[in-house]
Amino acid sequence: MVSPLERFRSAERASYAAPSAASQRRAADAIFRDIGSAVRDTNRQRNDVLSGLTGGSDDTPAPDPGPQGSTAGVSQLTFQYPSVLPPLSAEAQRAFAERRRAATRALEESRAQVDRQRQQAEAAAVQGRRDIGRQQAEQSRQGMAELAGRGVARSPMFVNPFQRGVARAAQQRVGELEMGLSQTLENLSTALRQAEQSRARELSDIEADIMAARSNVPMLLGIA
């Protein structure tokens, strides 16, 4: 026979092992609340992630880009200038070539003229030296004839000073002749250098004119 104490303990153990229906409902409601809260948290996190990927939610207005200017039908493409200058026309090439030939002809003519004048000056100097020599000899002959007429043609006291005077006069004339020749040759060299510089300037001007013609803005824009 079971004692009352054992029956009490059995009832107590049964109360722990088998909860009441009310306790079960409260436990179920708590579980449902936890599940709903977890679902809401998950949806919120998913929406945050999507918002970050798309640059904001659909409710967030896009930033104002500001006033946009009108192109009024004008193309916004940047004009591309040609990297290589266009060639000259055949007529322009002929004109520039003729200018080069004219500059070269002018220099060649100047050189030829300088050569002719140099040869003439040198030939004149040679002839001048001969003339001075002949004149010196003639003066010496005439002077000695005068000294002979005076009876002192054999006296060194009269002959030597006379001959030195004649030679000194001839040397002075030769010196003047040489100085004149040197100045003439220097003038001719200066004229030739000026002619060469003139041709160099003309060629430089031609090149500048060619570049200006090839870089003509209307022609580059196609409106020339």
Give the pLDDT of residue 123.
96
> Buried (b) or exposed (e) across 42-63, using 16+ Cβ within 10 A?
eeeeeeeeeeeeeeeeeeeeee
Give the pLDDT of residue 63.
53
Stretch 11-39: mean pLDDT: 54
3-state DSSP assignment of residue 14: helix
What is the distance between the alpha carbons of residues 138 and 135, in angstroms, rounded to a whole number? 5
What is the distance between the alpha carbons of residues 163 and 171, in angstroms, rounded to a whole number? 12
pLDDT at 18 over 50: no
Choose between 13 and 161: higher pLDDT.
Answer: 161
Give the pLDDT of residue 16.
46
Q: Which residue has the tokens 């107590």?
A: 12
Give the pLDDT of residue 181.
96
Choose between 190 and 217: higher pLDDT.
Answer: 190
Confidence of residue 115 (pLDDT cuts 50, 70, 90): very high
| pLDDT per residue as tens digits for the range 123-172 | 999 999 999 999 999 999 999 999 999 999 889 999 999 999 999 999 99
Confidence of residue 86 (pLDDT cuts 50, 70, 90): confident
